[in-house]
Amino acid sequence: MTTLMMILGIVVFVVGLLISIAWHELGHLSTAKLFGIRVPQYMVGFGPTIWSRKKGETEYGVKAIPLGGYIRMIGMFPPGADGKIEARSTSPFRSMVEDARAAAFEELKPGDETRLFYTRKPWKRVIVMFAGPFMNLILAIGLFFTVLMGFGVQQQTNVVSSVSPCIIKASAERDTCKKTDDESPAKAAGLQPKDKIVSFNGVTTDKWNTLSDEIRESAGKTVPIVVVRDGQQKTLTAKIATNQVAKKDSSGQYVKGYVTAGFLGFTPARGVVQQDFGDSVSWMGDRVGDAVDSIIALPAKIPALWDAAFGDGPREQDSPMGVVGAARVGGEIFTMDIPASQQLGMALMLVAGFNLSLFLFNMLPLLPLDGGHIAGALWESLRRNLARVFRRPDPGPFDVAKLMPVAYVVAGIFVCFTILVLIADVVNPVKIS
């Protein structure tokens, strides 16, 4: 049964992956057609074609390897300075430029002269290239809202799970009390498991984040605490201690590090809690920040990833993870001993996170990513406008094809990194349980 659920989870993730890729390419396709650019192909996946059908002037299809997708637009790059589409060169770098230029025109038909990508105004090209990542962002936001406000997420509540008998620093590698440890404020106040805290120091709340913040801000204060015990309200009094506690972000998620703050001394019970709109927006804002930080820190994580793949190093929870690793996590989610609704919610969260990463990654201003084409169009717009302001000749379209040698280097780095992540995902995968 566990194996069956594992396979089901992997299938759910793969389906979500394919939908995400198709959705991304649909953004490019729809805007390209809107601006009159001819699009001969719309494909989900790479490699051999499994299925395809031509409708109008576009061939729609699915390929064997579900690791991406593409649309083929006519005239992605302008002709050379001599007006020629293709000219042979003995320079390997120049050949890369000429090959890219030739490929952009290889399916040129009579009448396509006015339907080329490079002939569109820069702002239209920006929209076409931005539309793909933007579709991933929209899908991520939609899935996050669906899970947070609909399914709810597992989080800490105001119900007491257990009471700490003493005060121990969060960084201490122990959970047993010593004779020299002071009694925790919670125990001294008479707090008991299953008590539900409904008010703290006069602040009424049913949210753990609010309660946690109030406790942390009350170091050294003697405060009243109203709890519900056996259906009856009871008021306790506690003197909040000062202690080293785990650091949190603005949405209440624990992050690396410690802070000195107020300490009551109990473990909150966990439960499924639906978020309101404000909490959902705050939560997503934190996830975007985390994702940006992860991309910036990516180069610094490569040594640890290499050690995890080829050495005896541990695989960190925030280690870079590829499609294979994410699929494995998707399968593991469906083997967890939690309600089916929560399994589905976590799977949707995984797909949402994947789409958010796709958006941010594709916005990097590097060819062959969408962000590289956007940067080229913006640079063309800037230099043409400057030429107009200073009454200089129009410099014409920016020849992005000249950057293809750089694009091949970037693509090579991405391929190497993808292979490293794949090996790590296979031999030392990230686990959630």
Catalytic residues: 25
Q: What is the C-alpha to C-alpha distance for residues 112 and 38, in angstroms, rounded to an integer?
A: 7
Pair of tokens at residue 337: 């001993």
Q: How far does CA 26 lie from the centroid of its chain?
A: 20
Q: What is the C-alpha to C-alpha distance for residues 177 and 19, in angstroms, rounded to an integer?
A: 52
Give the residue from 99, 21, 108 showing the smallest Cα distance to 67.
21
Q: Confirm if 48 and 157 have CB atoms less than 8 A apart.
A: no
CA angle in degrees (0–180, nearest 5) for 320-317-138:
60
The SS3 of residue 243 is strand
Q: What is the C-alpha to C-alpha distance for residues 167 and 235, in angstroms, rounded to an integer?
A: 22
Count the alpha carbons within 13 Å of 48 in the hemisphere toward its beta carbon: 1
Give the residue from 107, 112, 131 showing the smallest Cα distance to 34.
131
Q: What is the C-alpha to C-alpha distance for residues 300 and 408, in angstroms, rounded to an integer?
A: 22
Q: What is the C-alpha to C-alpha distance for residues 164 and 414, in angstroms, rounded to an integer?
A: 48
Q: What is the C-alpha to C-alpha distance for residues 276 and 320, in angstroms, rounded to an integer?
A: 31
| CB within 8 Å of 433: residues ≥ 6 apart | 332, 335, 336
Burial class (CB in 10 A: 0-12, 13-18, 19+), 196: middle
Element (H, E) at 43: strand 41-55
Give the residue from 277, 275, 240 showing the smallest Cα distance to 260.
240
The dihedral built from the CA positions of residue 112, 118, 119 and 121, taken in this order, carries a sign that is positive
Pair of tokens at residue 297: 């820190």
Radius of gyration of the chain (CA): 28
Buried b (16+ CB within 10 A) or exposed e, 365-390: ebbbbbbbbbbbbbebbeebeeeeee
SS (H, E, C) 59-75: EEEEEEEEEEEEEECCC
How many residues would you count in the chain? 433
